[in-house]
Amino acid sequence: MAIASTTLLGQPLDRITGKVLDGRGTPVTDAAVRVEAVFGFAGGDYLGQKTFATKTGSKGDWAILGFKAGIWVFDASVPGSVADVVVLPFNVVTPPNSGVGGLTPAWHPVLRPSPRPPGEIGQTLADAEVAARAGRSDRAVPLLARVADSNDVDVLTAAGRICLLMHDGAAARPFFKRALERDPQSFRAALGMASGALLQRDGATAGKAFHDARDRTTDKDERGYLAAAVADLNKANNVLRGTY
């Protein structure tokens, strides 16, 4: 913790830690955490182990070793909830095997699965999430279309997060956009917009949306990892699809 996060942005990471909380901020034990790389250095192909899986401890904490520069999808799930999903950049413009490894960042991604809505809508989201995890977008997309006209911000952001599970930023962003239209102060919707944009390598939109999400939370860990994301994208300059 003695090394500032701005310093760490220029270094490859070997270990990253985070936590899973419920809506009240209570740590969630035995939550399933999955982390997957979608892009590597400069938004190109990722080289190395792409997926990691772990479970949270008694304090809702989790840790992953062997973590490298790239753009990553983080998700956490527990029975009876809709998974939380966020896409984050880490050292996007740091070439592999450069700098000093073995450092631990001073910020920690926070994941917050949300309670599944009751009734038919909840079952639809549950079925869509199962299909998304199985790589069945042909099944998940029609299911999510059933809730696309919802006025419930929680339903819309849940549907958007399921699209993020499929690594489909284009499908996710309309859900988050509609949620923001209904609640301009929605943290989940702003974070979802950033995640969807990052999947499309749209650094400009992602940077602005991460900044907006940071303004919508008072949690120090959330503000920390979001500030790191904004700084990383600022550093990336014109690398991500030439848009930032």
Prediction pTM value: 0.86
* Amino acid 105: pLDDT: 61
Average pLDDT estimate for 74-84: 95
82 vs 46, which has greater pLDDT?
Answer: 82
Query: Each residue of 110-120: pLDDT tens digit?
Result: 999 999 999 99
CATH number of this structure's domain 5-236: 1.25.40.10
Of the chain, the percentage scoring pLDDT greater than 70 comes to 83
- Kindly state the tokens that stand for 37: 């790389």
Query: Each residue of 159-168: pLDDT tens digit?
Result: 999 999 999 9
Check the CA dihedral 107-50-165-194 and report its sign: positive
Q: Where are the domains of the chain?
A: 5-236
- Kindly state the tokens that stand for 89: 């950049």
Using CA atoms, how far residue 58 sits from 27, 68, 180, in Å, is 8, 26, 34
* Amino acid 6: pLDDT: 34
Q: What is the mean pLDDT of the chain?
A: 85
At 30, the pLDDT band (50, 70, 90 cuts) reads very high
65 vs 22, which has greater pLDDT?
Answer: 22
* Amino acid 41: pLDDT: 65
Query: Each residue of 167-181: pLDDT tens digit?
Result: 999 999 999 999 999
* Amino acid 99: pLDDT: 44
Q: Whole-angstrom Cα distance, residue 94 to residue 231?
A: 13
Long-range contacts of residues 122-130, Cβ cutoff 8 Å, at least 24 apart: 125/82, 125/155, 125/158, 125/159, 125/162, 126/82, 128/159, 128/162, 129/77, 129/82, 129/83, 129/162, 129/165
Is residue 4 predicted with pLDDT exceeding 80?
Answer: no
At 106, the pLDDT band (50, 70, 90 cuts) reads low
